[in-house]
Amino acid sequence: MSTPRHGPPVRRITHLLDIAAHAQAFAPPHIVWRQLLGPSRVPAPSPALMFGGAEAAVARQLFGQIDIAAAGCFAMTDAAIGPGGVIIKDSTAFFGATLGTPEAQAAIIAHRLNACAATTCVAPGAAASLFGAANDRLSLLTEVMPALWIIAAAGYTDLLYVPIPAEAHPDARPMLLAAGLSASQLLPCDTIDSVFRSPRVLAPARLGHGVRFSPLMGEATRFWTTKLRATLGVAPPKPQRPLFLSPRDGDEPEVADWQSIEAAAAERGLTIFHPEGLSLAERTATYSEAKYVLGFDGAALMEACIFAPPGIPVCAIRGNSTASARLPGLAAALDHKFGTIFARTDSDNPDAPVQVHGGDVQRAITAMSLMAS
Amino acid sequence: MQRVEKLEDLTRYTPPPGARPFDYLPIDPVGRSPAPPPLFLFGPATPTVHEEIFGQHDTPPVGCYRMAGGGVAGGGIPIQHDTAFTAPSLLHPRHVIIATVGRMAQALLPHRHIEGMVAVIYGPAYQTYGHWLADFLPRLWVLAATGHDIGSLAYVMPEDLGTTARDLLLCIGIAPSQIIIHDPKCEHLTADLLLVPTGLRLGNRMNRHFGEATRFWIDRLRAHTSLPHSEAGTRLFLSRGRTSQERAILNRDAVETVAAERGFVPVCPEIFTIPEQIALFSGATMLVGEYGSALHGAVYSPPGTVVCGLRGNSRHPSFIQSGMGAGMDQHTGYVLGDTAGQTVQQRFSIDLADFERALDVVQAQAAPP
């Protein structure tokens, strides 16, 4: 296995193009799109439960998107992977929702690359663009890791090199290693201007689009989580106990009375789980045993969705003015029965922090235990 | 006739020693399951709305009670000797039973006794068409499933039975001679054997046999009635513009215009005969309309039909359509308008953008895969 070497700088970028809209103009052999599933128009899966009442904006988020984007993988010969997931070929920078790279960000990156002498490396083989503009845990779990399956399902069996941006989530490297990549395949980007040239660049399309996910998300998630469990020595998922995800100290949720909710959950027999500070293996093992999960909306609940046995009830607790951005769609794509307890506004004191009604917690736990039985 | 002095819950009732014969023919026990979620729920949802839709887990037991010498009080309340009966699936509110039998005790009325078996299938709100579809006609299946010949039974009916309900019974094949009109204000009525089939509804939830029970009476109706031709795959907008303006939709014209632009044909079902209504609904695969009895006509539509109800965000008039739709393998969604400050009249407006979104979902769901 060879290591990357420095190469000539990329050409001056003169064009910005949305890859999904313009791929056909660069027909093979320049850009190849291998489609795994075409676009579809399907109603959003209904939440299995909702309690507490919610504003009309919540419903628009939950039910308003009926379009699901196509799934597949772009391949370009002799191209480069730039910062923020921008793909550069000749003097064109490609961006797009399908790459996780907004146009505005692509424009900034192009300007910066034109203005400075970017550090250009040449990958020893095919390189995959897995990281987009966002580098939080959500994008790691729902975009970066599932992309490994897209590449495999599209039939690309090359030994892949993956540039990892310096600002990537701390779990990115251990997860990619646990999913089967070797350390030599991971190409660290030391600076924000790093550009990796490759004889073949693979750019898997994001499985998430808006608040919806492709029906292929379940298979893609099983692909990498199965490998990760095997590497970490974690048993396959099997529902055993209901979990309540406790928020970490100093990161309290928007709901004012979260301690009483935690106490109510404990009284109903849920295991109180504090995921923060635990290793990936410890978190994965616990989520794999979940019979149903109740927790405050956030990254921990997202991670629980990913590693929990498929088909379990998962319920988020949050305020009543917006819905979770992507959790309902992700949970549905993973066949979970998703629900939300919305905290209520005090009509006498609308500026006070929202509070969850105790009865809503009890009703939600009852509903989840019925669904899980 | 004996003065009614007791009120008993049929689900827990054991006749005292020496009482007249009383038995229960069970079909299905009480059930407990998560409520089926709506296809969509646009608009502002109050905590009450969420609780109504997602918080009801119990489904009713179904069977038929048989009471020797049983009688019928106002609203179809069963009585035997000195006891009036309640049961969750008979739907009579407890306070209504107490008031009704209290009035009976004060009145000195003549007694009429009917020989043979008499069934009572109606209950509260019997003058509302939708409750015949949701609550009362499925009880014919309960009678049949417990071994009774519904083609020969006598049925006690209230003197103020609406013409639509009467027409429905006749279309099903119940002969006029089988109907015993009873005015509880003018007489006490008893029978040798009173049959009291339970309903299949509890709140917004239905017993798992609701679909079978509904198809039973609709099949009989189709067999006994000549139906006009129906056009398949139609889209209907069910308007309440010509009926009661309780729970009125304030921007009805704008909503109907949007629906018409999307290919929905506006109809007021109540202007059609029963056979015409059935033909109308039989061809529909998308039904949109103001929540009410007309929407319950979806039971005549095929499985897979998408139903969108427009209503306020108060508790009343419940979400019975969800239970009916689940039983009929149909998809039900709602667009809610705010009824804050409208607790009595419950007038509401529908956000037209939300209505458009709902129609997008309706059409996407109804589209062939």
Q: Which residues of chain A approach chain B closer than 8 Å at the C-beta? A: 41-44, 46-56, 58-60, 62-64, 66, 339, 342, 344, 357, 360, 363, 366-367, 370-371
pLDDT at A250 over 60: no
* ipTM entry: 0.91
pLDDT digits (tens, 9 = 90+) for B53-102: 999 999 999 999 999 999 999 999 999 999 999 999 999 999 999 999 88
Phi, psi at A60, each rounded to 5°? -60, -40
Whether B54 and chain A come into contact, CB under 8 Å, resolves to: yes
| Any domain includes B259 | yes
Which residue in A43, A46, A363 is closest to B55 by CB distance? A363
| Any domain includes B265 | yes
Which residue in A59, A66, A370 is closest to B45 by CB distance? A59
Cα–Cα distance, B32 to B287 (Å, whole number) = 29
B208 and B246, same domain (yes or no): no
Cα–Cα distance, A243 to A346 (Å, whole number) = 29
pLDDT digits (tens, 9 = 90+) for B245-266: 678 899 999 999 999 999 999 9
B68 and B195, same domain (yes or no): yes
| Any domain includes B288 | yes
pLDDT digits (tens, 9 = 90+) for A53-94: 999 999 999 999 999 999 999 999 999 999 888 999 989 999
Angle between helices A299-307 and A217-232 (to 10 degrees): 90
Which residue in B37, B43, B364 is closest to A66 by CB distance? B364
Residue B188 CB neighbours (<10 A): 21
Q: Which residues contact A77 (CB under 8 A, 6 or more apart)?
A: A29, A30, A199, A200
B156 and B248, same domain (yes or no): no
* Radius of gyration of the CA atoms of chain B, in A: 21
B264 and B162, same domain (yes or no): no
CB contact under 8 A, A49 and B40: no
pLDDT at A1 over 60: no
Whether B306 and chain A come into contact, CB under 8 Å, resolves to: no
How remote is the C-alpha of A88 from its chain's centroid?
A: 24
pLDDT at B216 over 80: yes
Which chain A residues are within 8 Å of B42, Cβ to Cβ?
A: 56, 59-60, 63-64
Confidence of residue A252 (pLDDT cuts 50, 70, 90): low
Confidence of residue B330 (pLDDT cuts 50, 70, 90): very high
Of the candidates B193, B223, B253, which is a domain's last residue?
B223
* Radius of gyration of the CA atoms of chain A, in A: 22
State the pLDDT at residue A251. Answer: 61
B283 and B163, same domain (yes or no): no
CB contact under 8 A, B361 and A66: yes
Tokens 């502002």 identify what position? B44
Domain limits for position B320 = 234-366
B79 and B201, same domain (yes or no): yes
CB contact under 8 A, B364 and A360: no
CB contact under 8 A, A46 and B32: no
Domains of chain A, by residue range, sit at 5-40+71-211, 233-372
State the pLDDT at residue B87. Answer: 95
Average pLDDT value for residue range A172-198: 89
Q: Identify the CATH class of A233-372.
A: alpha beta
**Which amino acid does the sequence have at B165?**
A
Average pLDDT value for residue range B188-210: 97
Mean pLDDT rounded to a whole number for chain B: 94
**Which amino acid does the sequence have at A372?**
A
Average pLDDT value for residue range A197-201: 94
Which chain B residues are within 8 Å of A53, Cβ to Cβ?
A: 44-50
Average pLDDT value for residue range B219-228: 93
CB contact under 8 A, A43 and B41: no
State the pLDDT at residue B342. Answer: 65
State the pLDDT at residue A22. Answer: 79
Q: Is the preceding peptide bond at A188 cis, omega within 30 degrees of 0?
A: no
State the pLDDT at residue B229. Answer: 86
B243 and B188, same domain (yes or no): no
What CATH code is carried by the domain that includes residue B292?
Answer: 3.40.50.2300
| Any domain includes B292 | yes
State the pLDDT at residue A20. Answer: 84
Considering A313-322, A352-361, B203-212, the range whose residues carry the highest mean pLDDT is B203-212
| Any domain includes B53 | no
| Any domain includes B38 | no
Residue A93 CB neighbours (<10 A): 27
Whether B361 and chain A come into contact, CB under 8 Å, resolves to: yes
B254 and B303, same domain (yes or no): yes
Nearest CA in chain A to B32: A370
Whether B53 and chain A come into contact, CB under 8 Å, resolves to: yes
Cα–Cα distance, A367 to A159 (Å, whole number) = 47
B194 and B323, same domain (yes or no): no
Of the candidates B177, B204, B223, which is a domain's last residue?
B223
Confidence of residue A230 (pLDDT cuts 50, 70, 90): very high
Dihedral sign, CA of B246, B247, B251, B254?
A: negative
pLDDT at A361 over 60: yes
Confidence of residue A279 (pLDDT cuts 50, 70, 90): very high
Q: Which residues contact B221 (CB under 8 A, 6 or more apart)?
A: B168, B171, B172, B173, B274, B278
CB < 8 Å from A in window 324-343 of B? 333
Tokens 């529908």 identify what position? B350
| Any domain includes B239 | yes
Average pLDDT value for residue range A238-260: 81
pLDDT at A196 over 70: yes
| HEC assignment per residue over A275-324 | CCCCCHHHHHHHHCCEEEEEEECCHHHHHHHHHCCCCCEEEEEECCCCCC
B98 and B175, same domain (yes or no): yes
Q: What is the pTM of this model?
A: 0.92
State the pLDDT at residue A369. Answer: 97
Average pLDDT value for residue range A283-292: 97
- Contact of B79 with B85, CB cutoff 8 Å: yes
State the pLDDT at residue A23. Answer: 73
Q: Which residues contact B135 (CB under 8 A, 6 or more apart)?
A: B91, B123, B125, B199, B200, B201
Strand, helix or coil at A12? coil
Cα–Cα distance, B248 to B233 (Å, whole number) = 28
| HEC assignment per residue over chain B | CCCCCEEEEHHHCCCCCCCCCEEEEEEECCEECCCCCCCCEECCECHHHHHHHHCCCEECCEEEEEEECEEEEHHHEEEECCEEEECHHHCCCHHHHHHHHHHHHHCCCCEEEEEEEEECCCCCCCCCHHHHHHHHCHHHHHHHHCCCCCCCCEEEEECCCCHHHHHHHHHHCCCHHHEEEECCCCCEEEEEEEEEECCCEECCEECCCHHHHHHHHHHHHHHHCCCCCCCCCEEEEECCCCCCCCCCECCHHHHHHHHHHCCCEEECHHHCCHHHHHHHHHCEEEEEEECCHHHHHHHHCCCCCEEEEEEECCCCCCCHHHHHHHHCCCEEEEEEECCCCCCCCCCECCCHHHHHHHHHHHHHHHCCC
B113 and B159, same domain (yes or no): yes
pLDDT digits (tens, 9 = 90+) for B19-38: 889 999 999 999 999 999 99
Phi, psi at B363, each rounded to 5°? -70, -35
| HEC assignment per residue over A137-163 | HHHHHHHHHHHHHHHHHCCCCCCCEEE
Phi, psi at A108, each rounded to 5°? -65, -45
Tokens 């939440």 identify what position? A47
pLDDT digits (tens, 9 = 90+) for A18-49: 998 877 777 777 889 999 999 999 999 999 99
pLDDT at B219 over 80: yes
Whether B50 and chain A come into contact, CB under 8 Å, resolves to: yes
Which residue in B34, B43, B351 is closest to A370 by CB distance? B34
Cα–Cα distance, B259 to A105 (Å, whole number) = 41
Among B49, B51, B306, the strongest candidate for a mutation testing the A interface, having the largest count of A CBs within 10 A, is: B51
Which chain B residues are within 8 Å of A369, Cβ to Cβ?
A: none
| Any domain includes B178 | yes
B259 and B217, same domain (yes or no): no
Distance from B109 to chain A by nearest Cα, in Å? Answer: 48
The β-bridge partners of B119 are B155, B195
- Inter-chain CB pairs, A–B, below 8 Å: 93
Average pLDDT value for residue range B4-12: 92
CB contact under 8 A, B54 and A357: no
- Contact of B309 with B334, CB cutoff 8 Å: yes
CB contact under 8 A, A46 and B48: no
State the pLDDT at residue A367. Answer: 97
Among A40, A63, A356, the strongest candidate for a mutation testing the B interface, having the largest count of B CBs within 10 A, is: A63
State the pLDDT at residue A194. Answer: 83
Nearest CA in chain B to A60: B42
Q: Is the preceding peptide bond at B47 cis, omega within 30 degrees of 0?
A: no
Of the candidates B198, B223, B248, which is a domain's last residue?
B223
State the pLDDT at residue A3. Answer: 65
Question: How many domains is chain B partitioned into structurally?
Answer: 2
Strand, helix or coil at A13? coil
Cα–Cα distance, A190 to A178 (Å, whole number) = 22
pLDDT at B368 over 90: no
Among B39, B41, B363, the strongest candidate for a mutation testing the A interface, having the largest count of A CBs within 10 A, is: B41
Cα–Cα distance, A204 to A130 (Å, whole number) = 7
State the pLDDT at residue A272. Answer: 96
CA neighbor of B53 nearest in space, from A339, A323, A334: A339
Whether B34 and chain A come into contact, CB under 8 Å, resolves to: yes
CB contact under 8 A, B42 and A59: yes
